């Protein structure tokens, strides 16, 4: 199956089974916004809880054999506007974009690719420069459009199956840009020059809609942590090295939201700022890159689906000495990888900036060394909604040999529903026994009782939802007090004592 059809199937299953819906679908949808349905919210909460557990409730063991100290925080989405001046977002958090006068479309200039398409006009060879948004099928769509565009220009396209590799729009000079056909335009030269476009959503706090009341929806959760650094130091008994973790919504007015929930305008982040001494910072950076990679592996993401990409020196922010991305092989990036999480060495940049802008000391006093300094920060920053996409992509399996071929092989701990509980038929005492088992198990696990339709259909429904186990009460149960437990991944069934079902699940879900 091609990677674009895998993605189409994942998007279709997500909607059909209630993982992800387009936001405002009733009104035609709103680009870049998504709703998480009944199964989606369970999956998202499982990822969120696993991260919170791994960071705050039971943080990793440090290199010295002791558990790290990390506390949690939940800061406001809207902060004082000076926050974004100090952090640099007000000035520098922008993407280059171009507008199309004809189609009124807006595109990220660095994501537009331009193909040279050979054509003929009055016996002479000409070249049409046609832009498309970078994607797997960009060349295909440009070749299709070229037919129409060449005829409209009074010529005809030359016969070609393959075009030369495209160039990125921003690599063309201003004169060359003027003759480009925009991705949705019928004539050349309708694209504006690239302009910087700030990605922060603006709003107003209070009744007056003037500049003095302008506020921004946070584009990252991290800055709230820096603003409360002193509050946490003064109110908790933390000592450097320690971390502050936060999970919450962030907003970016992305020019081209795309690839399902991968790049959204409203999304959730899981970020942790780890404060350490400057001399130990390199050691902690390396520690966190490895710890975060291990965490993703523990959620059932295969080793070969993940990659660590160390940023080149010219990619690093001026204050950072090292940054690594944990990347995933998404169907839409294949054979390449795309970002899932970034681990950044942010030095003392953020605290220094907020200290200077707020005129409040944000130093740490090390009593043992009798030393006052601004701690350095290592920041593992992951997308929660992007993680949900990764788990769906990783779990999606199409097995033609099975009666219902679409299966979500989610890690049992991440699965929204842990067990389906079925009576084989809806009579002969089976529903009563199955329902009693369900009432017992639901105290601890998200379970679903289902007595409708043929058993095969019920299994298929659970396979698509990613439910790892199905427990069926059948004709034998009344005789020997056993039930069938079916494993989603293998389809294998085994007989288990009715009273051993809670232990069976505990052994697989609670460790
Ligand atoms: N505080 C650092 C920071 O925000 P980032 O690389 O811009 O760094 C961290 O974001 C993570 O947040 C990304 O690795 C990604 O998983 C997620 N993320 C960023 N922008 C996103 C978007 N538009 N839609 C969904 N997730 C996004």
User: Looking at residue 153, what is its pLDDT?
Assistant: 85
Compute the residue count for the chain: 511
DSSP annotation of 299: T
Q: State in Å: Cα 264 to ligand 1 middle.
A: 10
User: Looking at residue 6, what is its pLDDT?
Assistant: 95
User: Looking at residue 93, what is its pLDDT?
Assistant: 87
Strands 447-449 and 419-423 come out as parallel
Q: State in Å: Cα 128 to ligand 1 middle.
A: 37
User: Looking at residue 437, what is its pLDDT?
Assistant: 98
Q: Which residue's C-alpha comes closest to atom 7 of ligand 1? A: 220
User: Looking at residue 1, what is its pLDDT?
Assistant: 77
Distance of CA 202 to the CA centre of its chain: 23
The residues near 154 (Cβ < 8 Å, ≥ 6 apart) are 121, 122
Q: State in Å: Cα 246 to ligand 1 middle.
A: 14
Give the H or E element holding residue 390.
Answer: helix 384-395
Residues in the chain predicted with pLDDT less than 50, given as ranges, are none
**What is the phi-psi region of residue 361: left when phi exceeds 0, alpha when psi lies from -120 to 50, beta otherwise?**
beta
User: Looking at residue 157, what is its pLDDT?
Assistant: 83
The sheet with strand 195-198 has its strands ordered as 106-108, 94-99, 195-198
Query: Would you call 387 exposed, middle or buried from its count of C-beta atoms within 10 A (0-12, 13-18, 19+)?
Result: buried
Query: Looking at ligand 1, which atom is closest to the CA of residue 383?
Result: 16
- Residue corresponding to tokens 């070609």: 160
Q: Indicate whether this model's pTM tops 0.75.
A: yes
Q: State in Å: Cα 504 to ligand 1 middle.
A: 38
Q: Which residue's C-alpha comes closest to atom 8 of ligand 1? A: 381
Phi, psi of 298, deg, nearest 5 = -65, -20
How does 237-264 read in b/e, with b if 16+ C-beta sit within 10 Å?
ebebbbbbbbbbebbbbbbbbbbbbbbb
Q: Are 265 and 253 in contact (CB under 8 A)?
A: yes
Query: Looking at ligand 1, which atom is closest to the CA of residue 263?
Result: 24
User: Looking at residue 59, what is its pLDDT?
Assistant: 98
User: Looking at residue 349, what is its pLDDT?
Assistant: 97
User: What tokens does 329 get?
Assistant: 């092989």
Q: Which residue's C-alpha comes closest to atom 25 of ligand 1? A: 263
Task: Report angle CA 59, 292, 46 to the nearest 5 degrees.
Answer: 70
Which residues have C-beta atoms less than 6 Å from ligand 1? 220, 222, 252, 254, 263-264, 267, 269, 271, 339-342, 379, 381-383, 385-386
- DSSP notation for 186-237: SSBS-BPPPEEEE---EEESSS--SGGGEEEB-S-SHHHHHHTHHHHHHHS-
Q: State in Å: Cα 260 to ligand 1 middle.
A: 15
- The pick from 224, 269, 378 for probing ligand 1's pocket by mutation, whose C-beta has the most ligand atoms within 8 angstroms, reads 269
Query: Looking at ligand 1, which atom is closest to the CA of residue 222?
Result: 1
């Amino acid at each position: 199956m091609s990677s674009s059809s895998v993605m189409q199937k994942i998007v279709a299953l997500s909607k059909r089974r209630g993982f992800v819906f387009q936001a405002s679908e009733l009104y035609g949808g709103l680009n870049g916004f998504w709703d998480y349905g009944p199964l989606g919210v369970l999956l998202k909460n499982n990822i969120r809880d696993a991260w919170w557990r791994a960071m705050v409730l039971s943080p990793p063991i440090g290199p010295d054999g002791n558990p790290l100290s990390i506390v949690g925080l939940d800061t406001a989405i809207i902060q004082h506007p000076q926050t974004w001046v100090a952090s640099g977002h007000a000035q520098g958090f922008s993407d280059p974009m171009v507008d199309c006068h004809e189609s009124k479309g807006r595109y990220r200039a660095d994501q537009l690719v331009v193909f040279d398409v050979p054509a003929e006009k009055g016996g002479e060879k000409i070249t049409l420069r046609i832009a498309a948004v970078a994607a797997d099928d960009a060349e295909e769509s440009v070749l299709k459009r070229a037919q129409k565009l060449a005829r409209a220009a009074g010529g005809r396209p030359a016969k070609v199956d393959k075009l030369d590799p495209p160039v990125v729009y921003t690599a063309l000079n201003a004169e060359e840009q003027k003759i480009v056909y925009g991705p949705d335009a019928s004539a050349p030269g309708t694209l504006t020059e690239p302009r910087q476009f700030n990605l922060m959503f603006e709003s107003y706090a209070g009744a007056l809609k003037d500049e003095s009341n302008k506020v921004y929806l946070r584009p990252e959760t991290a800055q709230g942590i820096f603003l409360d650094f002193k509050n946490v130091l003064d109110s908790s008994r933390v000592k450097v090295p320690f971390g502050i973790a936060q999970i919450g919504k962030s907003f970016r007015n992305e020019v081209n939201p795309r690839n399902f929930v991968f790049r959204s305008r409203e999304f959730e982040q899981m970020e942790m700022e780890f404060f350490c001494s400057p001399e130990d910072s390199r050691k902690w950076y390396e520690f966190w890159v490895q710890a975060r990679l291990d965490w993703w592996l523990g959620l059932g993401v295969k080793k070969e689906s993940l990659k660590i990409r160390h940023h080149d020196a010219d990619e690093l922010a001026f204050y950072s000495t090292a940054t690594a991305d944990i990347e995933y092989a998404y169907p839409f990036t294949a054979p390449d990888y795309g970002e899932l999480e970034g681990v950044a060495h942010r030095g003392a940049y953020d605290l220094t900036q907020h200290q200077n802008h707020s005129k409040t000391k944000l130093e740490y006093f090390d009593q043992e060394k009798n030393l006052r300094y601004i701690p350095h920060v290592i920041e593992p920053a992951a997308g929660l909604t992007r993680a949900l996409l990764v788990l769906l992509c990783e779990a999606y399996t199409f097995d033609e040999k099975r009666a219902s071929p679409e299966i979500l092989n989610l890690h049992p701990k991440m699965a929204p529903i842990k067990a389906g509980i079925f009576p084989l038929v809806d009579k002969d005492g089976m529903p009563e026994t199955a329902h009693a088992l369900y009432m017992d198990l639901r105290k601890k696990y998200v379970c679903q009782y289902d007595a409708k339709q043929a058993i095969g259909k019920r299994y298929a429904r659970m396979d698509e939802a990613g439910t790892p186990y199905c427990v069926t009460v059948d004709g034998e149960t009344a005789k020997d007090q056993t039930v069938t437990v079916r494993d989603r991944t293998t389809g294998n069934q085994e007989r288990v004592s009715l009273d051993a079902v809670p232990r069976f699940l505990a052994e697989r879900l609670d460790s």
